[in-house]
Amino acid sequence: MALTKTERRTRIRNRIRKKVSGTNSIPRLSVFRSNKEIYAQLIDDVSGKTLAAASSLDKEISKEGTKSDMAKAVGSALAKKATEAGLETCTFDRGGYLYHGRVKALAEGAREGGLKF
């Protein structure tokens, strides 16, 4: 029996989450991609807290350009918030999505903003 798109993504996501976890000093950069928007947050899995978050719904992110342009802006906004919180390294959790397109653009934006992963 074939898996649906969401079931397949959930299986891949669980496989990634077995290996990737975040701490207070090195949080996990988690990505969620919907059809219109993209969300990213830095998570401390030990205490279960979000340390910094950014999304394409934020007011400082412009709605101009393509969705990939917005994703890159979200990555750089998250990196800015992370440096304000005193974080410079993280582990990347692509959330079951392929490292391609908007997810890749977000990662590149975060790297350009100063996050290391």
62 confidence band (pLDDT: 50, 70, 90) = confident
Q: Report pLDDT digits (tens) over 8-58.
A: 999 999 999 999 999 899 999 999 999 999 999 999 999 999 999 999 999
Q: Are 90 and 115 in contact (CB under 8 A)?
A: yes
**Order of strands across the sheet that contains 28-33:** 49-55, 38-44, 28-33, 91-93
Tell me if 117 is assigned to some domain.
no
The structural domain count of the chain equals: 1
- Locate 40 and state its tokens: 């990213």
- Report the C-alpha gap between 13 and 47 in whole angstroms: 20
Tell me if 25 is assigned to some domain.
yes
Q: Report pLDDT digits (tens) over 83-104.
A: 999 999 999 999 999 999 999 9
- Locate 82 and state its tokens: 């992370």
Q: Would you state the pLDDT for residue 113?
A: 95
The domain that holds 36 is classified in CATH as 3.30.420.100
Tell me if 28 is assigned to some domain.
yes
- Report the C-alpha gap between 81 and 83 in whole angstroms: 6
